[in-house]
Amino acid sequence: MVKFGDKLESEVFQDWKFYSLDYKELKRRIGAEPYTLTEYREFQRSLDDEKAKVNAFFKLKYNELVRRIEAMEKAVPSLEEALKGLPQQHDDAHTPQYEAETGSDGGSASTDESHAAAQKIRLSHLDQEIGRVSQEVKDLAYFSGLNFTAVKKILKKHDKNRTSYPLTSKYASFLNSKPFNEATYDNLILRLSELWDKIRYIHGNASSMDKADGVDQQNIVRKTTKYWVHVDNIVDVKVLVLKHLPVLLFKKGVNNDPALNSIYFDNDNLDLYHERMKREEGAQNLRFRWYGDRTKTDEVWVERKTHHEDWTSQKSIKERFPIKEKHLNDYLAGRYPIANAVQELRAKGKKKEKDLLDMQRLGDEVQQMVLNKKLHPMIRTSYNRTAFQLPADARVRISLDTDLTLVREDGFSRNNGNWRRDDTGFPFAELPKEDVIYFPYAVLEIKLQTQHGQEAPQWAMDLANSHLVEQVPKFSKFHHAVANFHVDKVEKVPFWFYQMNRSIVKPRPPLHLDPTRVDELDSDEEDMDHQDLRNRMDAAQTAAKNTVKIDKFGKIYFSNERTFLRWLNLCIYIFSFSLMLINLAPDYVSRHIGTMFSCFGIGLLVYNLVIFHLRAQALRNDDGDGPYELKFEPVVVAVLMASGAAVSVWLKWSGWV
């Protein structure tokens, strides 16, 4: 496993490494002997100096990026104006600049051509500058996150080795403030998103300016793949995505609070949880969602998700309708018919009649579902969501949920009979620790619509296969919370529980092999020393060998386990049958047959145990593509079982026993 000091030196952008925390020197000071009060104070002084060095560089670089973004924001309108009326041609990013500056006596036509070439060069330079700034935002975020981790690790190491001189408590305010976290970059990311969007529009590519209206959120059917993102990689993911998709603002010109809150309902038997975990056809989830302010809301969206298995040829669907919060408790108790809300909307004339009829149908069904199944508040999820999508192109929609917090809501002592508890709000610090889970990762969802032969864009595939994310198929915030808060009630836990106990951090690839870069490498960077490149590749491969690679084949891994358990169940039946013959049969022939079945059961168990371990090892070695079918074994088992039964019957009726 790569030591953190080596990781800090190798993964920080090389031009910035002298501004990074001198982790190895601080570590050396901890090991100094004798370690007295003088050494303790010297160590603290050195740590403060190193922190100040990192912070000074961070502020300098951050302010530089802000000024460069401001310069680009000023350049885009003038460039867009200058390009108006020019003939639509493919951009030539490699046109030498002097060609646009060379004079000509060819008259106005030559002047126009020169002007067009000059503007296209300006556009090319702007493209490159946006890419460079975006990449430097990524690099700075990783630099600051890595150095913050270095401070935490060196303090932990100091207090572990020098128990007489605890130091962490003196830096509590620094650690709790979470300096350099992803929120620091949100303003830069929004501004870069607008710049990339305008550049796409200038180039004639799809952009948010193609359609002024928002996105229809009434009924959504999408194929979704989910991933975990380590906090150190959140900004990397955002910057990579915004190069291709703008940040989606549902209401333009309005302050869009990214907070998203949901209350999930279930009953005391956790029926909704168990039905979905068993993947039963028609299994449903019910949640009540509101946006923005985490403590209050005027409007709540009632959402019902219905799961359909593939064999039904139906897609899982999410249906929802709005209701005023002041009516919600009465609605859930059956005292407020949804027809009243429908009639109010009909009077305003803001919705189509079909939508109103669908709302009434869904509202009645949800109300009966709550009353018949005795559903009540169970789980709250609260997080900040950043969504990326082109309004005119729904092929790819990406959302990233950060600061995910899971809160327990069940019980009258918590919610006082209300549809949600109102004694708390983010960050839920006043609640007991057993009622709150602060999820350690961000959750990325890549939602694709690939019908009609459409394929996912290459950049989306690069992101999904990159070191920035960890695939977690079918991850559910609701299931994760229920399985944690109600361990005594759940029959089975989600498979990703096994992934929570190990780090999802993956080695960063060498500079030239990183598909997630958003800039173009300069020629001098491309000529970097091959030995250095080889060393970085070797380090990445070494680190990768220490990672258990079962996640890519997660479902296959647990299917392998379930298959072995089914074979084990069959072996237990065979053993039971054979022991019954051996112990209860009055004749020796039956006992011999029982012994034969016992040996057969032992052989079958050993064979499948070996097969299970061979398959598991193949999955760990990233060689889990199969095939996995057993073509002959089931036939052999069936023949032997039938033969044994037939021989027993024949011996019985032929008079041999």
Task: Let me know how long the chain is.
Answer: 657
User: Which value, to the nearest 10 degrees, does the dihedral of the CA atoms of residues 642, 648, 651, 655 take?
Assistant: -140
Beta bridge mates, 399: 387, 445
**Cα–Cα distance, 430 to 433 (Å, whole number):** 9
| Amino acid in position 454 | Q
Q: Give the C-alpha separation, 115 to 593, whole Å.
A: 97
Name the one residue in this structure whose structure tokens are 């630099």: 143
Selecting among 477, 492, 552, 555, the annotated active-site residue is 477
CA 505 – CA 230 distance, rounded (Å): 7
Number of CB atoms found within 10 A of residue 181's CB: 18
CA 365, 368, 371: angle at the middle one, nearest 5?
A: 150
Q: 233-260: string of b/e by CB count within 10 Å (b at 16+)? A: bbbbbbbbbbbbbbbbbeeeeeebebbb
Contact 472, 499 (CB under 8 A): yes
Q: Is 444 helix (H, G, I), strand (E, B) or coil?
A: strand
DSSP classification of residue 521: P
Half-sphere exposure of 268 (CA within 13 A, CB side): 3
Structure token pair of residue 451: 């019908």
Q: Which residues contact 95 (CB under 8 A, 6 or more apart)?
A: 117, 120, 121, 124
Cβ-proximal residues to 139 (8 Å cutoff; 6+ apart), any chain: 13, 16
Which residues, 6 or more positions from 414, have their beta carbon under 8 angstroms from its beta carbon? 408, 421, 423, 435
Helices within 165-206 (DSSP H only):
172-176, 186-202
Give catalytic status of residue 351 as yes or no. no
Backbone angles phi and psi of 261, in degrees to 5: -130, 140
Q: Tell me if 421 sits within 8 A of 297, measured CB to CB.
A: no
Q: Is 570 exposed, middle or buried (0-12, 13-18, 19+ CB in 10 A)?
A: middle
Computed over its alpha carbons, how large is the radius of gyration of the chain? 32
How far is residue 319's CA from residue 306's CA, in Å, rounded to a whole number?
8
What is the CA angle 334-338-339, rounded to 5? 125
Mark residue 411 as left, alpha or beta (left: phi above 0; alpha: psi -120 to 50; beta: remaining).
Answer: left
User: CA 137 → CA 36, 144, 167, 238, 518, distances in Å?
Assistant: 42, 11, 32, 10, 10
Q: Residue 62 corresponds to which tokens in the numbers above? A: 């951050």
H helix runs in 229-287, sequence order: 234-242, 271-277
CA distance 461 to 480: 26
Residues 6+ apart with CB under 8 A from 155: 47, 167, 168, 171, 175
Q: How far apart are CA 195 and CA 457, in angstroms?
A: 21
Q: What are phi and psi of 414, to 5 degrees?
A: -95, -45
Cβ neighbors of 389 (< 8 A, separation 6 or more) are 215, 245, 246, 248, 396, 397, 398
Output the six-digit token pair for 27.
Answer: 């570590």
Active-site residues: which are they?
477
